[in-house]
Chain A
Amino acid sequence: MSRLHTLVIPWLLACLIALCTIVPLGVVMLSALTPDPAIWSHLIEFTLPELFKNTAIMLLGVGAGVLLLGVSLAWLVAVYDFPGRRIFNWALMLPLAMPAYVMAFAQVGLLEFTGPVQTWLRPHFDTMRWFPEIRSSWGLVLVMSLAFYPYVYLLSRNAFATMGRRALEVGQSLGLSRSQGFWRIALPMARPWIAGGLILVVMESLADFGTVAVFNYDTFTSAIYKAWFALFSLDTAKQIASLLVMLVFVVLVLEQRSRGRRAYAQAGRAAPQPRLPLPGWRGWVATLAAGSALLLAFVIPMLQLVYWASLDFANQFSSDFLGYAWRSVSLSLIAAVLVTAIALVLAYLVRRQGSQAMRNLARVATMGYAIPGTVLAVGVFVPVAWLDNQIIAAMGWQGEVTAVLKGTLLAMLLAFVARFLAVAYSSVDTAMNRITRSHDEAARNLGYSGWALLRRVYLPLLSGGLFTGVLMVFVDVMKEMPITLMTRPFGWDTLSVRVYNMTAEGMWDQAALPAIAIVLVGLIPTILLSRQRDVA
């Protein structure tokens, strides 16, 4: 093998992969450097004040909501024993399977004026004026908190399970009561994990498109969509997208800062300790609390969906539905395999090369997970459109052809690579790290190298990680709404696009069946995750 081969090819490959993220991000950020005064004066006057206000209310409200729900449920389940605890331990993660936009229209349908709750209450009251309007900022905060609390729950539960009871004991040995121990020791010690969960929630909220659409609540994502698809001003969309990216980076920097010098190596080396029993009525209060969270965040919206779907099942379960499902499944599968394959190549390159530069390149390539889908949709569309024009000009196709790559599956897949590479990469990389240097050396010693090494040693050992990667990306693409909506080829309506179109019209019952299909697929990784992370 030539020197060129071993030196240049890996870097070329890695750079190509990283470009999938760098180009869309660069396109959007460059537009921030070349602001259009006309657009900006309009934005500043009419759009931005409301966007910032709405975003601030959403983030503060949802942040408070997920902290309250996530931390208290995690503490209850990790430290105490009460009737049903083992079930709640994993069941409280079920809302992860339900995309926020599904939760949103289910809850709105339940609680709006014509919904079952108000209909049931109406005969008992003179007026329903006192009933809060669900389509409001508090309704959005409620729905998003219910949809996103599992992130905080999952991370803080694991932290509490390893050090929660120990923290109480240390406190008691120093003269602190249990409640003082919770506030002064357990909570501060779990802070990095709680903060980690909170950051995920903030990112999800900033990136959310479908939920705010149901609530007709304008944030940056919906503003990007409207600028592009309602005002047909791609430039405005780009400018708003650049602001959203900056907001995301501010959050990331804040997260890094908040850790500071305090390195929290591990929550505790001690094995999980037996839980404190909650005897008598106190145990049942805990059961009631956890049970109502589960009912509100999963069971009731799910029942509502099933009810809607059953109303008109024969009609809805039609060839149209099967078409949406088929397109969703095939698209998700293609994207999952492609993204995981790219992740495998990247992880292998990082391992073989092992240099800091390659590691940094991988970090850049996987940065797309923090970038909202609406931004990536814009960021991918712009260069693809430019490329199309170059090709058309070069081939002399003017007038005959308007699009080559624009609006093709390929453009959409590029956006998915940027968005979900991190998901696949983390599971492949975790598996890769379990293969030791001596495995490598043993195989080399026995005469395998290059592709043979990858095929004979790595692939078999990585199969579990690759499967997880494919599964996670598959489910994520299935649930994904903005990229699919904004970059899909003509006629390529998937389940999530169908949900968007029906909820945009307020036809909740028509959106129910595709939504149920999405939730069922989402249940697979959620259950796997809960089994895997269950701390006995």
Chain B
Amino acid sequence: MKENRILLAHGAGGRLSHELVNRLFLPYFDNDLLRQLDDSAVFSSGKAGRLAFTTDSYVVKPLFFPGGDIGRLAVCGTVNDLAMAGAKPLYLSAAFIIEAGFPEETLEMVLQSMQEAAREARVKIVAGDTKVVEKGAAEGLFITTAGVGVVPEGVEIQGRKAQPGDNIILSGPIGDHEIAVLIARGEFSLKGEVKSDCAPLNGLVEAMLETAPEIHSLRDPTRGGLATVLWEIAGASETGIIIKEDDIPVKSEIRAVCELLGFDPYYLANEGKLVAVCPEGAAEKLVSRMRSHPLGKESRIIGQVVKENPGRVLLQTRIGGHRILDPLSGEQFPRIC
């Protein structure tokens, strides 16, 4: 028999990642809070109200790419996971695993960028750790951040709260982050001016909650992309989701790379976009509020939550046909013909 091994695809954020968490991690750590598998755990903390808590590791390669770097990512990613619970992020911790020989100057550039991102997100980095490993035991620099935030009263945001009739809102064009990193990696001899969308979304979420505190679900489509987060919401809420291809913004340069490599833009990672599910009645005022925020200028309604086909995401195509959007399986690879 072949022994099971951890593959790169287990880290791609799609179906295999979910399967690994459910099969290996949940049985050991299982509890009410973890079982929700939302972006943050939300729990009551006596007088302080409800807190949101989350953690994430960053291993991006290369460390620097147009529009961001591992430091900015490490702050924004964790801030965004908190924001997706409707929380106001407050404090982060940051742990660094550094490969011996790593240039101090580069480390300082990363720290500076974390400082800037933390300032933008109005969070403080209040705890940290540093480990240095032998050369070859890590690739340059890995960062793990954890974060806590407070959830305002009346805000109840969870993947399972999506309801038939709700509208689905996307905050802007998809795919920029993954393509920017791909180009920066130089593996595909691609050239282009694509910048990562890496940004802290808590300001946008705060504005959204002021306008529409009744938002049901929020997700940031990072690894696995738009298709995978919608599939998560459909699964958690036991509803179906229909989105319209015509309404989903993808920049022309992203589309061109997708065509060249055979990628589907709905599976590309983003680091500064969000998907909101809200009651139909609140959708229009929410979209117009989002559009007045610098990170939501191109927000629009892209679809609806329905009763039919629970657990499934259906895409209505440009020519009026339809197809199922499954979660990402494995990693996307360039096609060969």
Q: Do these two chains interact?
A: no
Chain B interface residues toward A at CB < 8 A: none
Chain A interface residues toward B at CB < 8 A: none
